[in-house]
Each structure stands twice: as C-alpha cells, then as structure tokens.
Amino acid sequence: MAWHQHTLTLPAMPRGFHLITSRVLETAPEVADIQAGLLHVFIQHTSASLTINENADPDVRTDLERAMNHIAPEDLPYVHTIEGPDDMPAHVKSSLLGASVSIPIRNGKPALGVWQGIYLCEHRNHAGGRRLVITVQGE
C-alpha cells in the first residue's frame, strides 16, 4: 500500500464557500494511480473548514453561507473578541463543519457523488491563505 502526502496552500479567498476539488486533485496526481484507497484532506486552521456538498448550483454556496451566519451570528455576546467580530463565529462554524474530509478512491478517481465537490469554507472577512494537508493511501 502506497502513502503520499502533500501540502496545498490556497490563496486568500473572500468569506464564503469555495469549490476546491480540482485544486486538491492537481496537488495529489497519484490519485489517478490508485485502484482502491482513501483521499484525506485536512485544513490547518481554526477559523475555516472543509465540507462536501452540491457542486453544480452556485445558489447552494450562497445559502450555505446564509445558514451558517444564522447559526453563528456575529452579534452574539461572545467573550473571545480580541481578533474581531467575525473570529469567534468563524471558530463555531469551523467546529460545526469540521477540519477534514475523507473520500474513497475507486479506479483512479475520488468516489464523489455526481453532484458532490470539496469546499473550502472561509468564515473570516479578511483571512489570509489557507494550508491543507492532503494524504493519499491505497493500492
């Protein structure tokens, strides 16, 4: 069984949900050589997250952002406010969505559903670049 690991640094992106499936796969070309395995993507930040969701209709991205803002609004009386009003809600959203996704690899491709894609969920208004650790295992 082979193991491969890469770091992908994404440029700063605006707040919202951004499809990154193609960038992840460009960073881990050995996925194409794996017949059965696992693709794991981990984000090394606490105010952004990763998720798998609808990859076709851009309205889904808008609605996901709206729903997350409703669940963790900036106007709650948070105690942790030293990094600005969007920071603590970003931590809450990151905890809800998670820091990683795992996707089976089948016949050289991620076994995502027809309408699924990997999203970077940027929860800060003015975040910097984001680092992902991509691990591929399989045979």
pTM surpassing 0.85? Answer: yes
For residue range 56-83, what is the model confidence (pLDDT) as tens digits?
999 999 999 999 999 999 999 999 999 9
Task: Identify whether the C-beta of residue 17 lies closer than 8 Å to the C-beta of residue 123.
Answer: no
CATH topology for 2-138 is: Jelly Rolls (2.60.120)
For residue range 6-60, what is the model confidence (pLDDT) as tens digits?
999 999 999 999 999 999 999 999 999 999 999 999 999 999 999 999 999 999 9
CA angle (135, 92, 68) in 5-degree steps: 95
Q: Mean pLDDT, the chain, as a whole number? A: 97
**CA dist 26 to 4, 6, 35, 76, Å?**
13, 11, 18, 40
Domain boundaries, the chain: 2-138
